[in-house]
Amino acid sequence: MTHSSSQKQARRILDCVGLYCPMPILKTRQEIDKLAIGEILEVLADDPAAEEDIKAWAKRAGQKLLEIQKTDEGMRFLILKEK
């Protein structure tokens, strides 16, 4: 997982700020399903459990977590749809 992939452009941005488990994962799965293979989803979340939840989901779902960035609002994830 790199922290220098900010040059990669997200196809969609999913704002999950204010949502708590399991909503960020459910919404992430719904949005990733709308993308074509090779496209990137940016997810914004402030749920303290989001980092571990999204890491585990991406691994299970066969998607690649490109970046995790801590922000003032919470966390930012870049997820590459691989399948």
Q: What is the pLDDT of residue 8?
A: 73
pLDDT tens-digit map of 3-60: 444 457 888 999 999 999 899 999 999 999 999 999 999 999 999 999 999 999 999 9
pLDDT for 39: 96
The predicted model gives 51-79 an average pLDDT of: 95
* 16 given a catalytic annotation: no
- Max CA pair span of the chain: 31
pLDDT of residue 72: 87
**Domains of the chain, earliest start first:** 22-80 (3.30.110.40)
Of residues 11, 17, 19, 21, which has the active-site annotation? Answer: 21
Bridge partners (DSSP) listed for residue 69:
76
Classified as helix, coil or strand, 42 is strand
- pLDDT for 7: 54
Q: Provide the b/e sequence for 29-66 (b: ≥16 CB within 10 Å).
A: eebbeebeeeebbbbbbbbeebbebbeebbeebebebb
